[in-house]
Amino acid sequence: MKRFLSWMLLTAGLTAFAVHAQEAPDALIKRVASDVVATLKADKEIQGGNKKKLYDLVDGKIAGNFTFMRMTALAMGRNWSKATPAQQKALSDEFKTLLIRTYSGALSNYQNDVMDFKPLRMQPADTDVTVRTTVTAPGGQPIGIDYSMEKSDSGWKAYDVIVGGVSLVTNYRDEFNNVIRDSGVDGLIKTLVAKNKS
Amino acid sequence: MKRNLVLGAAATLLTLGVIGTAGAQVYDPLEPMNRVIFNVNDMLDRNVVRPVAQAYVSVVPRLVRTGVSNVFGNVSDAFSAINNLLQGKKEPFGSDLGRVLVNSTFGLGGIFDIAAEANIEKYNEDFGQTLGWWGLGAGPYLVLPILGRSNVRDATGLVAHGLIDPVYQVTPTVNEYELVVLRALDTRAGLLGTDDLVQGAALDKYTFIRSAYTQRRRSLVYDGKPPKDDDN
Question: Residue B73 contacts by C-beta under 8 Å, 6 or more apart in sequence?
Answer: B110, B113, B122
By Cβ distance, the residue of A102, A144, A170 closest to B215 is A170
- Cα torsion A126, A142, B192, B170: sign: positive
**Closest Cα to residue A67, out of A6, A184, A150, A134?**
A150
Chain B nearest-CA residue for A110 = B193
pLDDT in tens, B19-51: 444 456 789 999 999 999 999 999 999 999 999
Q: How far is CA A98 from CA A51, A95, A192, in A?
A: 14, 5, 8
- Among B54-58, B155-159, B226-230, the minimum mean pLDDT is found in B226-230
- Name the residue with higher pLDDT: B8 or B196: B196
* Residue of chain A nearest B123, judged by CA positions: A141
Nearest to A165 among B200, B207, B218 (CB): B218
Portion of chain B with pLDDT greater than 70, in percent? 85
B218 shares contact with chain A (CB less than 8 Å): yes
Task: Indicate yes or no: CB of B201 within 8 angstroms of CB of A141.
Answer: no
CA-nearest residue to B62 within chain A is: A139
Domain A2-197: CATH superfamily, name plus number? Tgt2/MlaC (3.10.450.710)
Q: Which residue of B has its CA nearest to A195?
A: B203
Measured distance CA(B24)–CA(B125) in Å, rounded = 20
Which range, of A35-39, A40-44, B14-18, B205-209, averages the lowest pLDDT?
B14-18
Mean pLDDT, chain A, rounded, equals 88
Q: How confident is the model at residue B192 (pLDDT cuts 50, 70, 90)?
A: confident
Q: Is the pLDDT reported for residue B8 higher than 80?
A: no
Q: Which of B122, B201, B232 sits opposite A141 (nearest CB)?
A: B122
Q: Do A175 and B211 touch (CB under 8 A)?
A: yes
**Residue B173 has what pLDDT?**
61
Sequence spans of domains, chain B:
2-61+126-221
Q: List the 87-106 stretch of A: residues with Cβ below 8 A of B.
A: 98, 101-102, 105-106
Q: Which one, of B222, B226, B74, B216, lies nearest residue B150 by Cα? A: B216
Of A164, A170, A178, the CB nearest to B204: A178
User: Which residues on adjacent β-strands are paired with residue A150?
Assistant: A128, A157
pLDDT greater than 50 at residue B231? no
Q: Do B202 and A167 touch (CB under 8 A)?
A: no
B170 pLDDT above the threshold of 70 = no
Q: Which residues from B are below 8 Å from A195, CB to CB?
A: 203
ipTM score of complex: 0.83
pLDDT band at A182 (very low <50, low <70, confident <90, very high): very high
What HEC string does chain B produce?
CHHHHHHHHHHHHHHHHHHCCCCCCCCCCCHHHHHHHHHHHHHHHHHHHHHHHHHHHHHCCHHHHHHHHHHHHHHHHHHHHHHHHHCCCHHHHHHHHHHHHHHHHCCCCCCCCHHHHCCCCCCCCCHHHHHHHCCCCCCCEEEECCCEEEEHHHHHHHHHHHHHCHHHCCCCCCCHHHHHHHHHHHHHHHCHHHHHHHHHHCCCHHHHHHHHHHHHHHHHHCCCCCCCCCCC
Per-residue pLDDT, B1: 47
Q: Does B200 touch chain A (CB under 8 A)?
A: yes
Residue A84 contacts B, CB cutoff 8 Å: no
Contact B203 A101 (CB under 8 A): no
Does A142 contact B at CB distance below 8 Å?
no
Buried b (16+ CB within 10 A) or exposed e, A5-37: eeeeeeeeeeeeeeeeeeeebbebbbeebeebe
- Least confident interval from A90-104, B24-38, B51-65, B164-178: B164-178
Which range, of A171-180, B186-195, B222-231, averages the lowest pLDDT?
Answer: B222-231
| Beta-carbon separation of A174 and B26 below 8 A | yes
Q: Nearest CA to CA, how far is A4 from chain B (Å)?
A: 52
Bridge partner list, A133: A117, A145
Can you name the residues that pair with A135 across neighbouring β-strands?
A: A115, A143
Give Rg (Cα) of chain B.
18
Cβ of A164 within 8 Å of Cβ of B216? The answer is yes
Distance CA A54, CA A108 (A): 8
Phi-psi region of B81 (alpha: psi -120 to 50; beta: other; left: phi over 0): alpha
